[in-house]
Amino acid sequence: MTEHVYNPSSPHADEFINHQEILDTLQYAQEHKDDLELCRSILKKAHPNLAPKKEHCTCITHREAAVLLACEDPEINEEIKTLARQIKLAYYGNRIVLFAPLYLSNYCVNGCLYCPYHAKNREIPRRKLTQDEIRAEVIALQDMGHKRLAIEAGEDPKHNPIEYILESMQTIYSIKHKNGAIRRVNVNIAATTVEEYRMLKEAEIGTYILFQETYNRARYEELHPTGPKSDYEWHTEAHDRAQEAGIDDVGLGVLFGLEGYAYEFCGLIMHAEHLEARFGVGPHTISVPRVKPAMDIDPDVFDNGIPDEMFEKIIALIRITVPYTGMIISTRESEAVRSAALQYGISQISGGSRTSVGGYTEEERPHDTEQFDVSDQRTLDEVIAWLMDCGHIPSFCTACYRAGRTGDRFMSFCKSGEILNYCHPNALMTLSEYLVDYATPATAERGWEMIREELTKIPDARRRELCAAHIEEIRTGNARDFRF
């Protein structure tokens, strides 16, 4: 067997996600977890510099982060959570971006043992949306108030070829219903070729999202016994191919619960370091799903579950270690877990989600084609009201993507803190659109109160006055889609 040497700049999966480096890192973490002076020096290194500088934080390494993860000292753990809150506010403020998943098809040829869409599941009804059905789903999502979607489809060359994905994106972008419009389509589909990634880029993809599921190669191959996804290198190197094709906003994620959390955390951070080292652009987003119940899937079969307290610590440490990234938590998690996660670094959440194919046009929530159980079943309006009650600005902003501020352009704004000069007023204007077009009276009343308060926090007087003027145009007329 070939021995691979750790190299974060390498294009080869076994070198940038190097098994021996992870084992050495976990051993180092165990040996130093009680060194409180070291832990505090690592936290000090990661502390945000709020004065204007080239970068707000100095990113700590995967090895330093692993020490903090292993540390069991209660005071250090509180300092981790406090620092995560500070970093999130320094980079992203108190905004939370909202989106919804849209499941196009559950046809799949893979044999993934943790997913109900696996090819051998004969109980689940297979369904693929037609373009007319996609239109109906998108109109239903627009009627909720959504502006940003993440489309999902199983891997099946016959039923879900790239041409189907591209046609579906075109359909989604074309629909203008009342004041509704989907302004950003993120895509979560299987690893593919550079040529097909170029096609997605030309179709105006937002972020290309692909979860690794597990970074442990042996465990990965055990969990993916059949199908194209069983090729570890092909899957793990997919984000590199997307970058080579010009998609500079890519999203990472592992499915916590399949392998030991410390191993997965380390691999995830190493993947982010690899993208920075090779392309100069780290992940645009990092998602933190956990294994959940679904048809034909019992999470207890996987004996690596994470208690909520450790899950929250992992979220905090991802925020500290990859401070510039957007962090996503879905409706897999309960309201209580999502509430805590928002305090420690999450910047994007789904709302009013349905994980079934064609679920948004059904009056009752269908379960027969769900990919996983939805724990947080509140409506989008209820989620927005809750966010505001917790002091967060619900945002539907897609301005950076549409203004070409992606990849290294986005990162340069974000790492310097300049993104707040754009995102804060953009969040208020898109919230205004929601309040006028979709909100219940109680949510609207609370929203206008928040907007009045938050307008005063825009430091630049000219931008503040212009934002207020645009909000008034939204509120009193039919003007929409202002952005900085």
Q: What is the pLDDT of residues 174-196, one digit of tens each?
A: 999 999 999 999 999 999 999 99
pLDDT of residue 376: 77
In this predicted structure, what is the pLDDT of residue 369? 52
Six-digit token pair at 417? 């803190």
pLDDT of residue 301: 65
For the domain spanning 93-377, the CATH number is 3.20.20.70
For 178-224, list the strands marked E by DSSP: 180-181, 184-188, 208-209
Tokens 């489309």 belong to 151
Give the pTM: 0.93
Domains in the chain: boundaries: 13-89, 93-377, 417-476
| DSSP letters spanning 250-311 | EEEEB-BTSS-HHHHHHHHHHHHHHHHHHHS---SEEE--B---BTTB-GGGS-----HHHH
DSSP state of 356: S
> What pLDDT score was predicted for residue 133?
97
- What six digits make up the tokens of 281? 């652009």
Query: Could you tell me which residues come within 8 angstroms of residue 481 by beta carbon, excluding any fewer than 6 positions away?
Result: 181, 183, 433
Distance between CA atoms of residues 25 and 262, nearest Å? 10
| pLDDT tens profile 94-123 | 999 999 999 999 999 999 988 888 888 888
pLDDT per position in the chain (484 positions), as tens? Answer: 467 899 999 999 999 999 999 999 999 999 999 999 999 999 999 998 755 555 556 689 999 999 999 999 999 999 999 999 999 998 899 999 999 999 999 999 999 988 888 888 888 889 999 999 999 999 999 999 999 999 999 999 999 999 999 999 999 999 999 999 999 999 999 999 999 999 999 999 999 999 999 999 999 999 999 999 999 999 999 999 999 999 999 999 999 999 999 999 999 999 999 999 999 999 999 999 988 655 555 556 666 678 899 999 999 999 999 999 999 998 888 889 999 999 999 999 999 988 889 989 987 755 555 555 667 789 999 999 999 999 999 999 998 878 888 877 787 777 777 777 789 999 999 999 999 999 999 999 999 999 999 999 998 899 999 999 999 999 998 899 999 8
Kindly tell me the sign of the dihedral angle through the C-alpha atoms of 296, 302, 308, 313.
negative
Q: Are 354 and 119 in contact (CB under 8 A)?
A: no
Kind of pairing, strands 148-153 and 95-105? parallel
**d(C-alpha 473, C-alpha 479), whole Å:** 6
